[in-house]
Structures are given as C-alpha cells and as structure tokens.
Copies of this chain bind each other. A is one copy, B any other.
C-alpha cells in the first residue's frame, strides 16, 4: 500500500505551507493523505460508491470520523452540478396544513441526506415564478411543488431545468374536475387526493342528514378550493338543489374573522340556508363562533362543516364536522417519491392517491 504522494499533498501536509485561501477545514485530501490513498478513493468510499475495497472503506470512514471531515456542499455542488437541497414551494405557512406537510417532508429528506429549502408563494403564480428564478440556480436536487397551478414561464423553467419534481396535494387528470393543463401533466408525478371527491363526500353527508339548502363559503379561491366547490356543486346538481345564490365566495385569505363575515353574508342572502360547507377549518371555526354570538343553534338551525381538520376544530362548540386530509402522509410519500426520482429509480405509482377521511362531529 505504498502511496504516491502528490506535490499538492505534500504542500498541505505542513500547516505553514497552506495556501492563503484555504479555509482551514479538513479536506478530502487531508483524509486521503492520512490513509495513504488518493482523494478520489476517499470521495468514492465516503459516498458509498461500489468498486472500492471494503477494507479501505472502513479505514477511510474511520479516518474521516477521527479527523472530523465534513464534505463541503459548495464544492460538491460545483463539481457535480447538483446540490443536496430540495426546493419545497408551499402557498402559505399560516395554514397548519402546510406546516404538517413540511415537517414530514423534512423528516424524510433529512434522513436521506437532503435539505429542504422552503419557499412561500402566497398563492401567487408570479411569486412562485420569481422563487423558481432565484432558487433554481442553486441547482436543487429535486422539487416539491404544491398544486399544478403554475404560470407558463414557470412551467418553462421547470421543464428546461430537468430537475425531478413531484406535485403535492392534488392529483393530475381528474376526470371530474377538468384542469386547464390536464393533458400535459397526466404523467406528472403527484401525491394527494381528490379535492373534488372530498368536497362531494362531505356534501353528501349533509344531504344524508336531511339538509337541503347547503351553501358553500370560501375565501382564498385557489385551484383546490374551487375543486372542492365543484364537488359540492355536482352533488347539489344531482339532487336538483343547486342554486348560484348558495355560493358565497370571497377573494380574501381565510381567517376566523372571514368566517364570521361569510356566515353573516350567507344568512342575509339566503335566510333559509340550513347548512354551510366552509372551504377550510379556520373560517368554519370563525363561523361557529359567530353562530354562538348570534345564538343560532348548530346544527339544529344551521349545520356547519369545514375542511382539513385543523387544530382546534375538535375543541369548538359544538365540535366541528370536517374532512381530515392526509397531509403528513402526502409530505412523506412525496419526499419518498422524489428520492426515487432523484436516484433514477422507477416509481411504482407516479400518481398516488392517499384519500381523505370524513370526521363527523357535532356541528352537523
């Protein structure tokens, strides 16, 4: 195992002789030198590439550990043209939904040696585009995006970057909710559930409970909210119960205050309303409190249901009936799918439906 020591290595061996630009960190060649192999071998060994003598691998790992070697992500990214970061774009952080999503993504990616770089789009296509513009040059190893609603320029960026990408929270090519760019993404990897079907399911629940004038109240009119609306509407139409005046929409972001306001609007417009389906639990909670303030018996006079099963919904008066969405699982499975894609492995189910659960409490 007589080793040839390159001039550079010799230079490095003496601390005095280190280049003035050296950062002082332990490098690959430091480890290589100490073991008596080339830097290349250390690089391969540490990355777990095959075709390295197992004995050497053990020795190298021990040395790296002992010397406190930590790979330099910048150097690695520069040389290999890809970083260990995964860009994760979500619309908001103020909805627990996305926090849960991020937490489970982080857990899976972190364990696999990747870092989640989080970007917030505020439900704005141009903000998303700008984020892609600034973050794509970081050469993320993968992308995790919320929904399919991108600007054309963003689509372009994504396509030309050729970076593996998984879409979260909704499914491509839903036959019951035609999507503008449906065709283009029928093969796009995605993990989620049918927002439309979930919206339809909770509407059916209300119908089964005997409600007939079921309103839909929503803020933050993003694509997924509109899919829920479509599910609600389809069920009502099927029963011949749909009327435009049952739809109370506001472009404002959802909040408890907005819930109170929409409840008021709904009852003013349709005093005969006997149930309300809110697009998200936070506005439903606000509506529940407003009903309490107004002395409206829930669910006797008016049933109220929400969506997502957020914290606090079980604490309301009465506890809120809602749809539990599997965001934790969506995050984990998306990350897992992305890991496969990044490794070039085939993905068994590139369109993964994780379903939803109706949670019936006392508000309906």
Contact = CB atoms under 8 A, between A and B. Distances in A.
Interface string A60-75: 0000000000111111
Interface string A245-272: 0000000000111001000000000000
A292 interface: yes
A135 B115 contact: yes
A314 B74 CA distance: 47
A307 B188 CA distance: 45
Nearest to A314: B257
* Chief secondary structure at chain A's binding surface: helix
A355 interface: no
A117 B120 contact: no
Contacts of A70: 137
A284 interface: no
Interface of A: 23, 70-75, 77-78, 81, 83, 93-94, 96, 99, 102-103, 106, 110, 115, 117-118, 120, 134-135, 137-139, 255-257, 260, 282, 285-286, 289, 292-293, 311-312, 314-317
Given A73-B137, A74-B138, 20 more contacts: A72-B78, A72-B137, A73-B74, A74-B74, A74-B83, A75-B78, A93-B103, A94-B311, A99-B99, A110-B134, A115-B138, A255-B312, A256-B311, A256-B312, A257-B314, A260-B315, A286-B315, A289-B317, A292-B292, A293-B317
